[in-house]
């Protein structure tokens, strides 16, 4: 028994008619040389390589922050952020590098003054990284943080509200300028 899909065609004439039910009717695309190389490297890499690479990236960011000392810029220096340079407004990430510098020097009030949302999120991000890296590298099973999509949406909404409030030109919001 065949069903008719259109005028003059039956399901037997359709492409992929010999495939089992539910199977993808097209053959997989052959990966290119770069994809095959990356897959080979991934298969041969030890479990701890990716967490170590991520830790290296975080370490380079921390080293850059410590070496550059973002708190010592001249008062009349032009901002490096394109949004602040063109509009004069603080972007959602403005003050993040200075906040990290103050966190690394254990001055949490100054860090919170530069970017409160970053300081709030930092312990959660650190725990998520340690839990992921420990699982990947050593098979540790740390308790999971249950972060639901509404929680992520709430955090992003808070970050957006903070970004808007810190640009308002009235007191007490002017104290949030960085």
Per-residue DSSP letters for 45-97? Answer: S-TTHHHHHHHHHHHHHHHHHHHH-GGG--TTPPPSSHHHHHH-PPPTTTTHH
For residues 89 and 103, what is the distance between their CA atoms, to the nearest angstrom?
Answer: 24
Classified as helix, coil or strand, 154 is helix
Chain Cα centroid distance, residue 22: 35
- CA-based R_g, the chain, Å: 26
Q: Identify which has the larger pLDDT, 18 or 89.
A: 89
Averaged pLDDT score across all residues of the chain: 82
Q: Which residue has the tokens 């943080």?
A: 145
Closest to 158 measured CA to CA, from 126, 129, 124, 130: 124
pTM above 0.75, yes or no: no
108 or 173, greater pLDDT: 108
pLDDT in tens, 64-114: 888 888 888 776 677 677 777 788 887 888 888 889 999 999 999 999 888
């Amino acid at each position: 028994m065949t069903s008719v899909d259109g005028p003059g065609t039956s399901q037997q004439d359709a492409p992929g008619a010999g495939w089992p039910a539910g199977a993808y009717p097209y053959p997989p695309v052959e990966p290119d040389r770069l994809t095959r190389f990356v897959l080979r490297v991934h298969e041969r890499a030890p479990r701890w390589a990716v967490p170590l690479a991520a830790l290296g990236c975080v370490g380079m960011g921390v080293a850059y922050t410590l070496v550059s000392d973002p708190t010592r810029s001249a008062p009349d220096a032009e901002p490096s952020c394109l949004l602040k340079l063109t509009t004069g407004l603080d972007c959602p990430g403005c003050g993040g590098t200075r906040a990290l510098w103050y966190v690394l020097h254990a001055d949490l009030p100054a860090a919170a003054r530069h970017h409160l949302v970053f300081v709030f999120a930092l312990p959660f991000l650190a725990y998520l990284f340690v839990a992921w890296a420990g699982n990947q590298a050593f098979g540790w099973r740390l308790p999971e943080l249950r972060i639901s999509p509404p929680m992520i949406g709430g955090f992003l909404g808070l970050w957006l509200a903070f970004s808007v409030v810190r640009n308002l030109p009235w007191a007490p919001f002017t104290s949030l300028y960085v």
